[in-house]
């Protein structure tokens, strides 16, 4: 299971996007339609379990966003393609999440594209300079258009970030001296190799056999670890 945090300014559509991506397998702790604690949802992408945490969009819930962000593997940053007023708030939220999760892959969902007033991506980029260098995907949480591409693109970036480690996981899965091979090939000390295994064991991508130096990659995800680009294509 990977942990994805869905953040962005007030009313940009974070809760609806999580609802759409999880086919309704989610909860939203809200009052009068405004998220006051969090959204939480679960989905499965080609055998990979993805936990999604949506943050509140009101500025005063910063502490909640900090807690929800902890340990996230990727960020979906939702912006409102219609409401220009929202852009300044988006900038503040972007600074905040970049501070909480430095170096963590991020994809921008340019939401509400089903509405005729929606601004195209190049216009959004002009108005929100901080989007430079990030993939911005026009989508609609309401109709579902491109919603899955947002998630798949992010998962791809997450997998690419870990690709050198993952390809070794796949290569030495089940090998008798798997741990030692991992250390040698990645040129890392034992604690670091064990750290990698523990991190992804927690995420249920693999199983570590305690004591016997062996680890096994979970079957459904093996081909994804070998070749992350397959995650981009929905089946
Ligand atoms: N037309 C349209 N409306 C949308 C879309 N996404 C969200 N909305 C609407 O925008 C409003 C806010 O959506 P939410 O999903 O609650 O937004 P949020 O970002 O979770 O809001 P907070 O949690 O209060 O910050 C709701 O009325 C949604 O129905 C979209 O893609 N298209
Ligand atoms: Mg919400």
* Tens digit of each residue's pLDDT (9 = 90 or more) over 73-93: 999 999 999 999 999 999 999
Q: Quick check: 34 and 82 in contact, CB under 8 A?
A: no
Ramachandran region, residue 144 (left: φ > 0; alpha: ψ -120 to 50; beta: rest): left
CATH 3.40.640.10 holds for 163-232: no
Q: Please choose from 13, 14, 31, 149 the residue to mutate so as to test ligand 1's pocket, defined by most ligand atoms within 8 A of CB.
A: 13
Q: How far is the CA of 12 from the centre of ligand 1 (A)?
A: 5
The DSSP element (H or E) to which 196 belongs, if any, is helix 190-202
pLDDT in the model for residue 208: 84
pLDDT digits (tens, 9 = 90+) for 168-219: 999 999 999 999 999 999 999 999 999 999 988 888 888 887 677 899 998 8
Q: Quick check: 168 and 222 in contact, CB under 8 A?
A: no
User: What residues flank ligand 1, with Cβ below 6 Å?
Assistant: 10-16, 33-35, 56-57, 111-112, 114-115, 140-142
pLDDT in the model for residue 235: 63
pLDDT digits (tens, 9 = 90+) for 17-56: 999 999 999 999 999 999 999 999 999 999 889 999 999 9
pLDDT in the model for residue 206: 85
Could you state, in order of their start, the residue ranges of all structural domains in the chain?
2-160, 163-232
This prediction has a pTM of 0.92
For the CA of 55, the closest atom of ligand 1 is 23
Find the mean pLDDT for residues 151-157.
96
Within 8 A by CB and 6+ apart from 164, the residues are: 186
- Does position 163 have pLDDT exceeding 70, yes or no? yes
CATH class of 2-160: alpha beta
Find the mean pLDDT for residues 3-12.
97
Query: How confident is residue 110, by pLDDT bands cut at 50, 70 and 90?
Result: very high
Find the mean pLDDT for residues 122-147.
98
Q: Quick check: 52 and 21 in contact, CB under 8 A?
A: yes
pLDDT in the model for residue 1: 82
For the CA of 33, the closest atom of ligand 1 is 16
């Amino acid at each position: 299971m990977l942990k994805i945090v869905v953040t962005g300014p007030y009313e940009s559509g974070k809760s609806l996007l999580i609802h759409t991506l999880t086919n309704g397998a989610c909860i939203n702790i809200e009052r009068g339609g405004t998220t006051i604690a969090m959204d939480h949802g679960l989905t499965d992408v080609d055998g990979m379990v993805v936990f999604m945490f949506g943050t509140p969009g009101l500025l005063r819930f910063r502490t909640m966003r900090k807690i929800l962000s902890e340990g996230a593997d990727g960020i979906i940053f939702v912006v409102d393609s219609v409401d220009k007023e929202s852009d300044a708030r988006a900038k503040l939220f972007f600074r905040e999440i970049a501070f909480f999760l430095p170096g963590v892959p991020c994809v921008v969902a340019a939401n509400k594209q089903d509405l005729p007033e929606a601004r195209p991506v190049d216009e959004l980029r002009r108005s929100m300079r901080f989007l430079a260098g990030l993939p911005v995907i026009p989508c609609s949480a309401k109709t579902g258009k491109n919603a899955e591409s947002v998630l798949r693109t992010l998962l791809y970036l997450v997998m690419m970030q870990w690709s050198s480690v993952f390809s070794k996981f796949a290569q030495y899965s089940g090998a008798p001296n798997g741990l030692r091979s991992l250390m040698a090939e990645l040129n890392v000390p034992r604690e670091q190799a064990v750290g990698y295994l523990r991190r992804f064991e927690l995420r249920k991508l693999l199983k570590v056999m305690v004591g016997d130096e062996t680890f096994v990659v979970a079957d459904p995800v093996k081909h994804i670890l070998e070749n992350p680009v397959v995650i981009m294509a929905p089946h």
